[in-house]
Chain A
Amino acid sequence: AQKITQTQPGMFVQEKEAVTLDCTYDTSDPSYGLFWYKQPSSGEMIFLIYQGSYDQQNATEGRYSLNFQKARKSANLVISASQLGDSAMYFCAMREIGNGQNFVFGPGTRLSVLP
């Protein structure tokens, strides 16, 4: 079974608008972390934001916020005031504390910001 699901292969957003990228996850581990990474065409994985399973508040980092709905097992990324430089692949990922040290990544969403 897929542990991380990203149902949007591609998304378009107008510059300066907000956009939400969806992510749902599956785990039975009570302790886990959820991450969003940005991967531009250069290939590097750029860390954007982190949400711990016990965190009471939604994480925010500048223009990025994570809409964490634990009961629904969703961790959507919201990018406010989109910029042309936000065009990239975006990956949702999870680390389970009780299940080794590696990330499980979703298939990604390609975001294109239109001028």
Chain B
Amino acid sequence: DTGVSQDPRHKITKRGQNVTFRCDPISEHNRLYWYRQTLGQGPEFLTYFQNEAQLEKSRLLSDRFSAERPKGSFSTLEIQRTEQGDSAMYLCASSLPSRGEANYGYTFGSGTRLTVV
């Protein structure tokens, strides 16, 4: 297991279509995070899971967005009725449980770049 894998790397879709992205975390990491990064900006937090439980969702995660992690391993992020404003890089990350410190084995994937035309 060499890191966090995301699929696809690139996705071009027409406005109004649904898209789904997949993230496979590092196997021993029980926490999984989704971030969105628009052009010229830093990543922004969307949501995170501990095992299969979705514990936090950002206000950025509108009703058209849904994330799942059904078995506590891989996760999917679905965007329904895509809009041009959804065009961004979607980054996944995974980590070990916190031991009360801020730095605990946090690894990002290479992202899925979505372009809505």
Is B29's beta carbon under 8 Å from chain A?
A: no
| Closest-CB distance, B34 to chain A (whole angstroms) | 10
Number of A-B residue pairs at CB separation under 8 A: 70
A50 to B105, CA, bound (A): 11
Query: Which of B35, B55, B100, B103 has the most C-beta atoms of chain A within 10 angstroms of its own C-beta?
Result: B103
Is A68's beta carbon under 8 Å from chain B?
A: no
From the candidates A4, A43, A107, name the one contacting B89 in the complex (CB within 8 A): A43
Q: How many residues of A contact B (CB 8 A)?
A: 28
Closest to B10 in A: A43
A91 to B56, CA, bound (A): 23
Q: Are A33 and B101 in contact (CB under 8 A)?
A: yes
Chain B, 24-60, CB within 8 A of any chain A CB: 31, 33, 35, 40-45, 48, 55-56, 58
Interface string of B78-117 (1 = CB under 8 A from A): 0000000000010101010010111100111111010000
Q: Which residues does chain B contribute within 8 Å of A32, judged by CB atoms?
A: 102
Q: Which residues does chain A contribute within 8 Å of B33, judged by CB atoms?
A: 101-102
Q: Are A52 and B43 in contact (CB under 8 A)?
A: no
| B residues whose Cβ falls under 8 Å from a Cβ of A | 31, 33, 35, 40-45, 48, 55-56, 58, 89, 91, 93, 95, 98, 100-103, 106-111, 113
Listed by A's residue number, 27 A-B pairs whose Cβ atoms lie within 8 Å are A4-B42, A31-B100, A31-B102, A33-B103, A37-B108, A42-B110, A43-B111, A47-B108, A50-B102, A50-B103, A93-B42, A95-B102, A97-B101, A101-B31, A101-B48, A101-B55, A101-B56, A101-B95, A102-B56, A102-B58, A103-B35, A103-B45, A105-B42, A105-B43, A108-B40, A108-B41, A108-B42
Other than A43-B89, A47-B108, A97-B101, give 15 A-B pairs with Cβ distance below 8 A: A31-B102, A43-B110, A43-B111, A44-B111, A52-B103, A91-B42, A97-B102, A100-B56, A101-B56, A102-B33, A102-B45, A103-B35, A105-B42, A107-B40, A107-B42
| A residues whose Cβ falls under 8 Å from a Cβ of B | 4, 31-33, 35, 37, 42-45, 47, 50, 52-53, 91, 93, 95-97, 100-108
